[in-house]
A and B are shown apart, each in its own frame.
Chain A
Amino acid sequence: MRAPGLTWFRLPLFIWSMYATSLVIVLGTPVIAITLLLVAAERLLHLGIFDPRLGGDPILFQHLFWFYSHPAVYIMILPAMGVISELVAAFARKRIFGYRFVAFASIAIAVLGFLVWGHHMFVTGQSMYAVTIFSIMSMLVGVPSAVKVFNWTATLYEASISYETPMLYALGFIGLFTLGGLTGTMIATLGVDVHLHDTYFIVAHFHYVMVGGTIMAYMGGLHYWWPKISGRLYPGFLSRLSALLVFVGFNLTFFPQFVLGYLGMPRRYWSYPPEFQVLNVLSTAGASILGVGYLLPLFYFTWSIRYGKRASENPWGAVGLEWDTTSPPPTENFPVIPVVTREPYDYTSEEVHRRSTQEAPVVYQVD
């Protein structure tokens, strides 16, 4: 149950984004469930629904599939955006710029996300009108996404930023997601998509959003809440190094794929003409660096569970209910139900100011 005083506009933005995500899950997942059931019935019971040999329409399957599977990418990116809002506020020590805009942008993305699935099907011969509408709607998704990026950037403006590991991931997210989003509006354009469809450009685009976006936010969130989850601190230098390796490795892996795709290398083929060799080798090298970047946290998090220094209640000097309870929290989270009297991200209040200056966060143990 919500704590007393925790009104809608006192909710952390992560909760707002989870609310938007839930809408997508509730409305989208049942459609893929019935689609899978129909495919199973077709395979097992010989009921013709999608199989053209039985008079069925495979394009109908694609519609049903993408009706879920496009919103599904918003199921992945919306919580990530919520995490980034938390991290940016905590490490910029500032109230999020335009809280309500960021909150409603999540809802807008969830709603628009249901109206754009046809952009996966530009080359299936759908009508020009459908293509036009799907193209316009897809570009509209860029509006609430840009609202978020601009508001995070505005939050960083004139802030006292501390470059802790979670913040490194958050900054990485903002840059990479912006690239992923901008290439998204490129391929939402019909003429460009016909050229880029099923090429490595698409692979690069969705990895910039899903890995550069979602996974970066996941890693940032994990590093942010790890002391709360485990009650332990992790090594500062190693974790910063891993964030750097992930960023460099990621770009080296996927940026060449934009070029490859634009030059015409198709997806889902292992072989390619010799002129694509250099870019493919760069991509493979990047993947190796990325792998090291991902493996490092596995080691130091495991290490920290046993040997890490014990974390205080609030190692980052952050605001938010979770930082008011012990690390890790007790059963049912709070010994006494807290009463919420303030807006979220209240980093400018006197008390927080005192806490952030006098009780300077001792987060990492000395390496």
Chain B
Amino acid sequence: MSTRSTEQAAVAIPGGDVGGHHHPSLQHHFDSLAQQKEASTFGMWLFLVTEIMFFGGLFTCYVVYRRAYSEAFVAASHSLDWKLGAFNTAVLILSSLTMALAIWAAQVNRRKQVVFYLIATMFLGTVFLGVKAVEYADKFEHHHVPGPSFEWHEGGHAEPLDGAQSDAPPLEDKFAQHVQIFFSLYFIMTGLHAVHMICGIGVLAALLLPAWRGRYNSEYHNPLECTGLYWHFVDIVWIFLFPLLYLLGAHAT
């Protein structure tokens, strides 16, 4: 370790700001753009690790109840429209492509294309949310939203609730109760995913103006890249959600 009287010297950092000329996007605590990029990308990955643990807890709940109440889960899954889900999956994968193209456009200095692809990504994200809204409305209509108004008449064997559960909400039987748990997980999982989508669209909107002003180019495009990492992550979460929620028991029919 250096000691008080020895070995203290100013250090010239290669690739740092030479002669006081800062790159306008270089923050003062970084030595070079490359170091700044490495730090921000690493930070983004760390954030995504926390996101994986966050959704991981949710998926753990899903796995536990899927195993415990598998029949009810299959029945409930059949009430979802897999075609809408598949359409949304395609929309999201396409949006990941446009996101990647936005980063590519910045890397090859095509300013207008950056803006175009950002808008395309936002548009596809909005389409996804729109379809989700239609699906949610359908659940409300069919009383598939967990709570006092929850109803389930679409099959499954009725099994009376035992006495200890008499103060439970007026559900006809245990099967309906287990179906309700599926829908609880459905709403929390897709709801949290949708919140992530909305945040992503917000961040993309914030990038639009700087992109229009040519802030992102081959030299500097950290914000685009980090947003891209986030967008792809949200996309991947959906890739897991789609089969887990929409395609249960498909092999049985």
Give the interface of A toward B (CB within 8 A): 1, 3-5, 10, 26-31, 33-35, 37-38, 41, 45-49, 52-57, 60, 63-64, 67, 313-314, 319-321, 323-324, 336-344, 346, 351-352
Q: List 30 A-B contacts (CB under 8 A).
A: A1-B35, A5-B2, A30-B50, A30-B51, A30-B54, A31-B53, A31-B57, A46-B169, A48-B177, A48-B180, A48-B184, A49-B184, A49-B188, A54-B169, A54-B181, A55-B174, A55-B181, A320-B1, A321-B2, A338-B8, A339-B2, A339-B7, A339-B9, A341-B1, A341-B6, A342-B1, A343-B1, A344-B1, A346-B1, A351-B3
Contact indicator per residue, chain B 49-61, by CB within 8 Å of chain A (1) or not (0):
1111111111011
B1-34 at interface with A (beta carbon < 8 Å) = 1-11, 29-31
Interface residues on chain B, number (Cβ under 8 Å)? 49
Q: In the complex, what's the smallest C-beta–C-beta distance from B191 to chain A, in angstroms?
A: 9
- The reply on B185 being an interface residue by CB < 8 A is yes
New contact pairs (18) apart from A47-B147, A339-B11, CB-CB < 8 Å: A10-B1, A26-B46, A29-B50, A31-B54, A37-B192, A41-B188, A45-B147, A47-B188, A49-B184, A53-B165, A54-B168, A57-B68, A64-B60, A314-B4, A323-B4, A336-B8, A338-B7, A340-B2
B1 touches A337 (CB 8 A): no
Answer whether residue B146 sits at the interface, using C-beta atoms and an 8 A cutoff. Answer: yes
Tell me which residues across on chain B come within 8 A of A10, comparing CB atoms.
1
Task: Please name all residues of chain B whose beta carbon is closer than 8 Å to the beta carbon of A31 when the two chains form the complex.
Answer: 53-54, 56-57
Q: Which residues of A contact B188 (CB under 8 A)?
A: 37-38, 41, 47, 49
Chain A residue at minimal CB-CB distance from B59: A34
Partner pick for A352 among B3, B64, B169, CB 8 A cutoff: B3
B74 to chain A, nearest CB (A): 16
Inter-chain residue pair count (beta carbon < 8 A)? 136
Min CB distance B144 to A, Å, is 12
Q: Are B29 and A1 in contact (CB under 8 A)?
A: yes
Known: A1-B29, A1-B30. A30 touches B2 (CB 8 A): no
Residue B167 is within 8 A (CB to CB) of chain A in the complex? yes
Interface assignment of B69: CB less than 8 Å from any CB of chain A = yes
Complex formed: what's the CA distance from A315 to B162 in Å?
72
Q: Are B60 and A338 in contact (CB under 8 A)?
A: no
A349: nearest chain-B partner, CB-CB: B3
Contact B55 A34 (CB under 8 A): yes
Residues of A within 8 A of B82 (CB): none
CA distance A30 to B148 in the complex (A): 30
Interface status of B242 (Cβ within 8 A of chain A): no
Is the beta-carbon distance between A60 and B30 smaller than 8 angstroms? no
Q: How far is the CA of A343 from the CA of B169 in the complex (A)?
A: 66
Is there an interface contact between B11 and A4, defined as CB atoms closer than 8 Å? yes
Interface residue? B187 (CB, 8 A): yes
Contacts of B2 in A (CB 8 A): 3, 5, 321, 324, 338-342
Cβ–Cβ < 8 Å partners of B49 in chain A: 26-27
* A338, B167: Cα distance in complex, Å: 69
**Which chain B positions have C-beta within 8 A of A34?**
54-58
Given A48-B181, A57-B68, are A1 and B10 neighbors across the interface (CB < 8 Å)?
no
Taking A38-B188, A48-B184, A342-B1 as contacts, is the C-beta distance between A54 and B177 under 8 angstroms?
yes
Counting from the closest, the 7 A-B pairs by CB-CB distance are A47-B184, A34-B57, A30-B53, A30-B54, A55-B177, A46-B147, A30-B50
**Chain B positions within 8 Å of A352 at CB level:** 3
Q: Please give, as numbers and ranges, the residues of chain A lying within 8 Å of B4 by CB-CB distance.
A: 313-314, 323-324
Contact A27-B7, Cβ < 8 Å, known A45-B146, A48-B184, A54-B180: no
- Proximity string of chain B (109-153) to chain A, C-beta cutoff 8 Å, 1 when within and 0 when not: 000000000000000000000000000000000000011100000
Q: Which of A5, A46, A56, A344 contacts B148 (CB 8 A)?
A: A46
CB nearest neighbor in A for B147: A46
Assess whether B1 is in contact with A321, with CB atoms less than 8 Å apart.
yes
Say yes or no: A53-B1 contact (C-beta < 8 A), given A60-B61, A341-B7: no
Contact of B187 with A47 in the complex, beta carbons under 8 Å: yes
Whether the Cβ atoms of B61 and A38 lie closer than 8 Å is: yes
Q: Inside 8 A of B69's CB, which chain A residues have their CB?
A: 55
Bound CA span A60–B55, Å? 15
Q: Which residues of B contact A344 (CB under 8 A)?
A: 1
When chains A and B are docked, how far (Å) is the Cα of A4 from the Cα of B10? Answer: 10
**Contact A26 B50, beta carbon cutoff 8 Å:** yes
Complex alpha-carbon distance, A1 and B30, angstroms: 8
- Cα of A54 to Cα of B179 in the assembled complex, Å: 11
Query: A41 CA to B181 CA in the complex, in Å?
Result: 12
**Contact residues in B for A52 (Cβ distance below 8 Å):** 165
Known: A10-B1, A49-B185, A54-B181. A27 touches B53 (CB 8 A): yes
Residues on the B chain within 8 Å of A351, using CB: 3, 5-6
Complex alpha-carbon distance, A25 and B232, angstroms? 24
Of B50, B52, B64, which contacts A60 at CB under 8 A? B64
Structural contact, B181 and A56, CB atoms closer than 8 A: yes
